[in-house]
Amino acid sequence: MASRDVLSDTTKLASSTMVLQVLFRLLTFGLNAFTLRYVSKEIIGIVNVRLTLLYTTVVFLAREAFRRACLSHSSQQSWRHTVHLTWLAVPLGIGWFLVLGWIWLHVLEIPKPEVIPHYTTGVLAFGLSAVIELLSEPFWVLAQAHLFIRLKVVTESLAIIIRCSITVILVLFCPHWGLIIFSLAQIIYTSILALCYILYFARFLDSPEAKKKSFPFTKMRDFFPQYSAYQDFLDWKQAWLALSFFKQSFLKQILTEGERYVMTFLNVLSFGDQGVYDIVNNLGSLVARFIFLPIEESFYVYFSKVLERGKTVKSQQKEEVSAASEVLESLLKLVTLIGLIILAFGYAYSQLALDIYGGSMLSRGSGPVLLRFYCLYVLLLAINGVTECFTFASMSKEEVDRYNYVMLGLSASFLCLSYYMTVWLGSVGFILANCFNMGLRIAHSVLYIRKYFKGSPYQPLRGLLPSPTVICMLGISTALTGYSEVLFCCDQGWLLRVAHILVGTTCISITACTIVLSESKLIHFIRSHFLAGRSKKGV
């Protein structure tokens, strides 16, 4: 597949996924605001921190390494070996569930039943839901590698709608069920995810479209392991690459969910404080989830397809390297500008956002300070997502192995820093520790990218530097909205709050116009790929 075709399909996948994330993160955003008024913050803390941590840890450790290995050089691999490798995620997930479930039930502090009933049921349900989701892994990998856009969009949409609907209904009519509400919704959510992927391919394989696309499988049996005396069960090169990614995934999980591990295992915050922190964390990470994450996932596929892993720039095809450099520069410029806008406007609107979302429980305490610091973290998160996306897609196996040691050092320093900074500064310490470690990860990736393109005419890191005009406008906007907050927000009635919102709307509109006029190359990239991708018919 030519690099232009890959880029077109990738941007279509990224933009479609972003639209999906926007719509349904807004749905879950409203759900959380609703449940805050019916469910205690202690239950929110247990569900969103401890039980969700169990689920994400099992799923991430069981499948992340296989996903990265199987999506590398997908045009050159044996899909039979790929299917065999992805199925290993299921027994691995069961093993992690048994180990971590025992820790969650017998090692960690058990909440009081009169405050948080049905804790054991919650642990078993969230662990089981992780195993159920892993059953769809071979189907997900094939769909992602062949850029089945509508499948991902429809499946996740349907699952999220049903989970949200079940949660709202049970919270309204059976609030005394406590954790059973969230446990039931979680199992149904992952069951729908798995079922949709399986049913889709059962129908797709018999369709003319499968033959037209030269899909590698012709029957459902092909999606399941098949032993042969004439062929190795696994592609051992691919398996060793997965092992390298597994070591990295373990460390990356600690970095990604580090503050939750610290809260869960070291008890530095009460369950109620954990709930408040998680609410602020979810609110602050909305943009990261529905914009930055789809970009990272989709363009990892793009870079993996366009670039030969482990080869230098001079060994790559010139056209492919040129396209990859241009895409990387534009992506860096895009996410940097989004992050700077969030940082510039987040300071003056954090308290108002929390007051609207959760009332005085969030806006009167440490919530506004947490959200303001989180805006800085979002900027770093945006840059790191794109730089690591390119880095992991182009590294050789040996470089991936060496980076595991870097991740080990970052993980150890992050856990120590999180603990001591939280003891010293409270919840803010978690965010500052994340910022410090994210900065180190960005530095490593930037050095790798600079070395990768050294000696070539390409300089994609220029994307990290917005135009001076845009920087100047963002500074003016920060000053004006900060002054507006002092005058109009947030204890002086809704009329003055609306005035504060109008000031922000005016500033962000002028900033957007400045970006359009100053960043012509970025605007051309967005129009040519993201917006053009939306206008074409999806796969």
Q: Of 474, 458, 468, 514, which Cα lies nearest the Cα of 307?
A: 458
Which pLDDT does position 173 carry in this prediction?
86
Contact 427, 273 (CB under 8 A): yes
The vertex-46 CA angle with 42 and 47, nearest 5°, equals 115
Which pLDDT does position 535 carry in this prediction?
45
Which pLDDT does position 74 carry in this prediction?
47
The distance of Cα 74 from the centroid of its chain, to the nearest Å, equals 22
Contact 516, 473 (CB under 8 A): no
Which pLDDT does position 350 carry in this prediction?
87
- As a whole number of angstroms, the distance between CA 41 and CA 50 comes to 13
- As a whole number of angstroms, the distance between CA 424 and CA 299 comes to 39
CA distances from 73 to 179, 210, 255, 320 (A): 43, 21, 27, 14
Residue partners of 352: CB distance under 8 A and separation at least 6:
363, 485, 489, 490, 497, 500, 501
Which pLDDT does position 100 carry in this prediction?
95
- As a whole number of angstroms, the distance between CA 236 and CA 234 comes to 6
- As a whole number of angstroms, the distance between CA 123 and CA 54 comes to 8
Q: Would you give the DSSP letter of residue 460?
A: G
Residue partners of 236: CB distance under 8 A and separation at least 6:
none
The 3-state DSSP class for residue 247 equals: helix
The vertex-47 CA angle with 41 and 50, nearest 5°, equals 110
Q: Of 139, 157, 123, 119, which Cα lies nearest the Cα of 55?
A: 123
SS (H, E, C) 35-54: HCCCCCHHHHHHHHHHHHHH
CA distances from 519 to 4, 99, 344, 439, 506 (A): 22, 51, 18, 25, 20
- As a whole number of angstroms, the distance between CA 120 and CA 117 comes to 9
- As a whole number of angstroms, the distance between CA 113 and CA 120 comes to 10
Can you read off the two tokens belonging to residue 452? 């990768």
- As a whole number of angstroms, the distance between CA 47 and CA 37 comes to 16
Q: Integer distance in angstroms from the first to the last C-alpha of the chain?
A: 15
Residue partners of 494: CB distance under 8 A and separation at least 6:
none
Q: What is the DSSP string of 145-206?
A: HTT-HHHHHHHHHHHHHHHHHHHHHHHHH-GGGTHHHHHHHHHHHHHHHHHHHHHHHHHHTT
Residue linked to tokens 């967005």: 526
* Block mean pLDDT (10 aa), the chain, length 539: 59 60 64 73 85 92 81 61 84 94 92 86 95 91 76 82 87 86 94 91 80 74 73 69 74 75 82 79 74 78 80 79 87 92 90 78 77 91 90 82 79 82 83 89 91 85 90 94 84 78 93 92 80 46
This prediction's pTM: 0.71
The distance of Cα 26 from the centroid of its chain, to the nearest Å, equals 16
